[in-house]
Structure formats: C-alpha cells, structure tokens
C-alpha cells in the first residue's frame, strides 16, 4: 500500500488526503493549528458567514421596500449588528465544518497527527507534538502549509486599533470609523461587510483601481467603485498609508501619493480612524519546514517552486495550494484541484494541472464572479475579441428581488464567437459564474449558450441574454 504524508489540513491538504485514502493509500495528515486551515477557520467560510449576517441586516433595513411592516402597527423597527452574536454564529458554522472534516478523516482511516512538521532527509517528516517528536517515513510527501497574513513594518498590528483580517472576524463591537489598507479581494469584502454593520469605511489602495488583479476585468472594478460610493464607502486610489500613530485611542493615518502609480497626485493628508485594518497580502508558511535540508527550492520571496505536476525540486516531495504563491492562483478550490493532481502523481499517474479555466468569487456587495480572460489579458495575448454586456436590471428576476446593480459581460473570440472570458457582477454572481466556467472549459460559443433554453424567471437568464446580445452584435 503506498503511503502519503500530507502537511497542512486546509482545502489543499484535506482534499488530497480524502482522495489518497479513497484510492487505497495509507494517509497521515499533519496539522499544527485548526483542522480545515485558513479557508475554514480564518478565510472563506468565516468571511462568508459574516457576510450573511451583513446581508440579513441590509435586508432588514429594506423591509418597507418589500411591503413588510411591523406587526402590531409600531411605527418602525430598528435593527443593528450584535457583534457577539454575529461572531458566535460564525464560530458555530466553523465548528460544524471542522467537526465534519475530522469525522470524515476518521471514517476514511486517515491518521491525523497534531503538531508542527518539518522535513528530514530521505522523505522523512518530523512532527513536534505535545507528546514529543514523531518521525514519519512515507513514499511521498505533500506540502500544503498555506500562507499567513503579511505584516508591514510601517503598519504594526496591535490587534486592537491596528488589526488584520483574522482580528476582523472576531471583533466584539462595530468600529465607528474604519480605514482599510488594501483594496484587494479581502479588503473589499470586509469593507462592504463592516459598512453594512454600520462602520464609516475608507479603503486606501496603492494602485489605481479596486480589485487590481489582472483576471478581474476593469469594468468590474469600475462597477464596484460606483457601488462603494452608493454604500458611502470612501475610496482613496493611488494612495498609500505612510504612517499610523495611535493617539488617545484613535489612529491617525497619514496618506500620501502611491509610489506604485506613475505621477500619483496629491500631498500628505491625515485621516482619523477607530480601527485600521491591514489587508495587504500573504506570506508563505515555510518557516521551520527545513526545506533547504530536504532539497526543496523556493523563489526569492520564499514561495515553494513546483512544476505543473506539483513536483518540487526534491524527489517524492510535492507542494500544493497557497504555499506556491501568487505565481499560481491563491484560492481554496485551486488548492483542492492541485491536491487531486498531486495525489495522481504520487500514485504514478502523470498529470499536469490545467489552470486555464479557474472561476473566482468576490463576495462584495454586489458579488463578482469571474472566469477566463479579462479584456486586458485577451489584448495582451494578441487575441482579436469582441465583448458584450447585459445589465442586471433588465432581468425580471432581478427586479422581483430588488437586486438591480450589476452586469453580465462576456469576451468572445471575434471570428468564432468562442467564449474566452466571463465576468458577472450582481446578486449571486459567485454562483452564476459556474455556467460560464463550464462553457469556457468546453469551448462553447456565444451561440451555443444562446441556443440553450434557460429557465424563467432566473438570474441565470442574464448569461443567456448576454450571449444572445453578442450574437446580435448589440
Ligand atoms: P491553508 O488553508 O492556509 O492551510 C494550511 C494549513 O497548514 C494550516 O491549517 C496551517 O496551520 C497548516 N500548517 C502550516 N505549517 C505547518 C507545519 N509546519 N506543520 C503542520 N501544519 C502546518 N479563497 C477562496 O477560494 N474563496 C474565498 O472566498 C476566500 N476568502 C478568503 C478570505 C480571507 C480573509 C482569506 C485570508 C483567504 C480567503 N481565501 C478564499 C483564500 C483561501 O483561504 C486559501 O486560498 C486556501 O485556504 C489555501 O488553502 P491551502 O490548503 O493551501 O492552505
């Protein structure tokens, strides 16, 4: 029976463990913190649980719009976020999912070892457990240790006034004024959540658009900026926070023109906040792994180097997930896909992962879903393309739901009509993007989708409509 040792139990590690066990391998899964990794404990799931509370509060504030009045004839009913209850709900969800993972591991005979792992020579892993050091030798090792919050010396996190994304998931109160440093995915998601809870939010982004990620189409960033304005979230683009100082329980943030944008305008300004949330990036969890002794190469920033089959430079040692860094895609479902690919290769099936069609969900308000190429990427590849948009408000279902902001956008090869990119902003965009992913993966054209009957009235009709409009050329 082949044996596989997996270090880290996030969506990369635990999915690899399930797959390896299912295929008859003897599997050991090592975890030094909480089972489920960043995704379940400090990332995807906790943020989306908070987002659901934020949405419930927003809906409560719109009840009149839906014709709902207080029973008993009271004038008006007010609602607010009870952060202790919000965080308690998040904890309940987290524990249910973590508990489920442990039960599945046990049912599949996956041995969980709790402790901090380091690599030794000859495919050996040493685990520092509460009981002592355990040495595990196996045929293959998969490193799935993920990433941690990047800290900047100029923004020293004190977990009280200057906080990080982990802290933002456990706040016991709604801060009055919140400055969020970083307008990437995590910064924007938390901005809309805390704005819904009642904070006055300012996002400071060093580049010249929100979500400055090549795969996110520029139109989505523009739409999000408009929606941020409607939600009264202030956005400072091409600015960086140069200094923060806690004075009398407030944080003074000194903003200046960004060094990352050519000719960024403006001088220094100071804004005051109750809390500054730093969301500027991630750093690899490789410290203490003993990579050098095992012969596992990293790049200059410490991210592990692996080939398309997830093989590192050391024979029999694979790496998957966030620990591969931003050169790949740092998302939970990508870590899982890489985990499946690594297991295939551990078990002797040569397979490289196809990264060409990766959907991503951004849980702002409205949500954004993207898959395939952005216009910018298509242009850079020299592809002749034509784009089409269709507005959410034109859908009967969107009107019925009162969810008007948003758009469907497709990017198709000009001649063939093959869909090469799809970008959706609006209610449930992160679910709606799945159809576009399937279309792109299977090489479908706008005509293929437009000739597929879509149920009415649904938000999914928007994808049909945008393809239909592309065909008509309007
Ligand atoms: P991780 O999930 O980070 O797991 C690694 C595990 O390894 C950890 O449990 C760690 O304790 C353990 N470990 C590390 N070193 C050792 C060691 N030496 N010994 C033993 N164990 C070790 N992605 C999405 O797709 N959708 C989202 O909506 C989303 N939202 C996010 C929101 C936030 C706030 C954050 C921070 C991230 C979000 N992500 C999201 C990203 C997602 O969480 C990561 O891409 C994903 O968790 C990476 O999975 P992984 O298995 O590579 O690593």
List the pLDDT tens digit at each of the 474 positions of the chain: 999 999 999 999 999 999 999 999 999 999 999 999 999 999 999 999 999 999 999 999 999 999 999 887 766 678 999 999 999 999 999 999 999 999 999 999 999 999 999 999 889 999 999 999 999 999 999 999 999 999 999 999 999 999 999 999 999 999 999 999 999 999 999 999 999 999 999 999 999 999 999 999 999 999 999 999 999 999 999 999 999 999 989 999 999 999 999 888 888 999 999 999 999 999 999 999 999 989 999 999 999 999 999 999 999 999 999 999 999 999 999 999 999 999 999 999 999 999 999 999 999 999 999 999 999 999 999 999 999 999 999 999 999 999 999 999 999 999 999 999 999 999 999 999 999 999 999 999 999 999 999 999 999 999 999 999 999 997
Catalytic residue check, 456? yes
Structure tokens at 62: 């719109």
Peptide bond into 366 cis (omega under 30): yes
Distance from Cα 25 to the centre of ligand 1, integer Å: 24
Q: What is the three-class DSSP state of 54?
A: helix
**The domain defined by 366-472 carries CATH number 3.40.50.300:** no
Can you list the positions of beta strands (E) in 248-352? Answer: 250-257, 269-273, 275-278, 282-284, 317-319
Which sign does the torsion angle of CA 9, 11, 14, 17 carry?
Answer: negative
* Residue 371 and residue 358 in contact, taking contact as beta carbons nearer than 8 Å: yes
Could you say which of 3.40.50.2000, 3.50.50.60, 3.70.10.10, 3.20.20.140 is the CATH number of the domain covering 162-280?
A: 3.50.50.60
Specify the pairing of strand 147-149 against strand 140-143.
unpaired
Size of the chain, expressed as the number of residues it contains:
474
Nearest CA to ligand 1 atom 32: 43
363 Cα nearest atom in ligand 1: 28
**DSSP code of residue 36:** T
Half-sphere exposure of 164 (CA within 13 A, CB side): 15
User: Could you tell me the distance, in angstroms and rounded to a whole number, from the CA of residue 245 to the centre of ligand 1?
Assistant: 31
Give the pLDDT score at 75.
Answer: 66
Give the position, in ligand 1's atom list, of the atom nearest the Cα of 336: 51
* Ligand 1 binding pocket mutation candidate from 28, 43, 191 (most atoms within 8 A of CB): 43
Model pLDDT, residue 76 = 64
**Pairwise CA distance, residues 6 & 12, whole Å:** 9
Q: Whose Cα sits closest to atom 53 in ligand 1?
A: 146
According to the model, what pLDDT value does residue 130 have? 96
440, containing H or E segment: helix 429-441
Q: Which residues line ligand 1 (CB under 6 A)?
A: 7-13, 30-33, 37-39, 42-44, 47, 116-117, 144-147, 165, 186, 285, 288-289, 321-322, 330-333, 335, 361, 363
Residue intervals in the chain for CATH 3.50.50.60: 3-148+283-346, 162-280
Taking CA atoms only, the protein residue closest to ligand 1 atom 37 is 43
- d(Cα 110, Cα 104) in Å, to the nearest integer? 8
Distance CA 184, CA 224 (A): 12
Position 140 scores a pLDDT of 98
Q: 37 C-alpha to center of ligand 1: Å?
A: 5
For residue 13, which atom of ligand 1 is closest to its CA? 51
Specify the pLDDT at position 77: 73
Check residue 72 and give its pLDDT: 77
Can you tell me the distance from the alpha carbon of 459 to that of 303, in angstroms, rounded to the nearest whole number? 40
Tell me which H or E stretch contains 111: strand 111-114
CA distance 438 to 359: 10
| Cα of 147 from ligand 1 centre, angstroms | 6
Pair of tokens at residue 135: 């040495």
Coil vs helix vs strand at 263: coil
Query: What is the token pair recorded at 107?
Result: 């049912």
Gap from CA of 323 to ligand 1 centroid (Å): 9
Q: How far is CA 434 from the centre of its chain?
A: 16
CA–CA separation, 281 vs 326, rounded Å? Answer: 10
All CATH 3.30.390.30 domain ranges of the chain, comma separated, are: 366-472
Query: Within a 10 A sphere around the Cβ of 7, how many other Cβ atoms?
Result: 29
CATH architecture designation of domain 3-148+283-346:
3-Layer(bba) Sandwich (3.50)
Cα-based distances in Å from 313 to 155, 291, 329, 338:
35, 10, 20, 17
Mutate which of 17, 37, 93, 133 for ligand 1? The one with the most ligand atoms within 8 Å of its CB, which is: 37
Counting from 1 in the atom list of ligand 1, the atom nearest the Cα of 11 is 51
The pLDDT of residue 264 = 85
């Amino acid at each position: 029976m082949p044996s596989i040792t997996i270090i880290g139990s996030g969506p990369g590690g635990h999915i690899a463990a399930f797959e390896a066990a299912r295929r008859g391998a003897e599997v050991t899964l090592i975890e030094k913190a909480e089972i489920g990794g960043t995704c379940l404990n400090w990332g995807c799931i906790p943020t989306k649980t908070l987002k659901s509370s934020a949405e419930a509060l927003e809906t409560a504030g719109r009840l009149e719009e839906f014709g709902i009045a207080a029973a008993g004839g009271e004038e008006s009913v007010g609602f607010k976020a009870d952060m202790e209850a919000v965080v308690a709900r998040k904890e309940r969800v987290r524990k249910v999912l973590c508990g489920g993972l442990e039960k599945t591991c046990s049912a599949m005979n996956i041995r969980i070892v709790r402790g901090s792992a380091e690599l030794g020579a000859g495919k050996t892993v040493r685990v520092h457990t509460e009981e002592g050091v355990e040495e595990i030798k196996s045929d293959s090792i998969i490193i799935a240790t993920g990433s941690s919050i990047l800290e900047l010396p100029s923004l020293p996190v004190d977990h009280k006034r200057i906080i990080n994304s982990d802290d933002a998931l456990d706040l016991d109160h709604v801060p009055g004024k919140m400055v969020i440093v970083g307008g990437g995915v995590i910064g924007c998601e938390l901005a809309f959540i805390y704005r819904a809870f009642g904070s006055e939010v300012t996002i400071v982004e060093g580049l010249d658009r929100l979500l400055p990620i090549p795969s996110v189409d520029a139109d989505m960033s523009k739409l999000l900026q408009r929606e941020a304005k409607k939600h009264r979230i202030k956005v400072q683009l091409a600015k960086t926070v140069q200094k923060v100082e806690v004075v009398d329980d407030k944080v003074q943030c000194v903003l200046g023109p960004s060094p990352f944008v050519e000719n960024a305008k403006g001088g220094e300004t100071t804004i005051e906040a109750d809390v500054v949330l730093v969301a500027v990036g991630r750093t690899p969890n490789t410290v203490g792994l003993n990579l050098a002794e095992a012969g596992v190469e990293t790049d200059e920033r410490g991210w592990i180097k692996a080939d398309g089959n997830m093989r590192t430079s050391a024979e029999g040692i694979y790496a998957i997930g966030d620990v591969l860094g931003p050169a790949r895609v740092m998302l939970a479902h990508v870590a899982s896909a890489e985990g499946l690919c690594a297991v295939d290769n551990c078990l002797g099936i040569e397979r490289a992962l196809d990264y060409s069609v990766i959907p991503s969900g951004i849980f702002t308000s409205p949500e954004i879903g993207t898959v395939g190429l952005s216009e910018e990427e298509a242009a850079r590849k020299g592809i002749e393309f034509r784009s089409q948009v269709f507005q959410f408000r034109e859908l009967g279902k969107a009107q019925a739901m009162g969810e008007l902001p948003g758009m469907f956008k497709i990017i198709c090869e000009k001649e063939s009509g093959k869909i090469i990119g799809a970008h959706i902003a609006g209610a449930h965009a992160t679910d709606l993007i799945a159809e576009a992913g399937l279309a792109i993966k299977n090489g479908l054209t706008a005509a293929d989708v437009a000739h597929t009957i879509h149920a009415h009235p649904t938000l999914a009709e928007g994808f049909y409509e945008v393809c239909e409009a592309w065909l008509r050329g309007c």
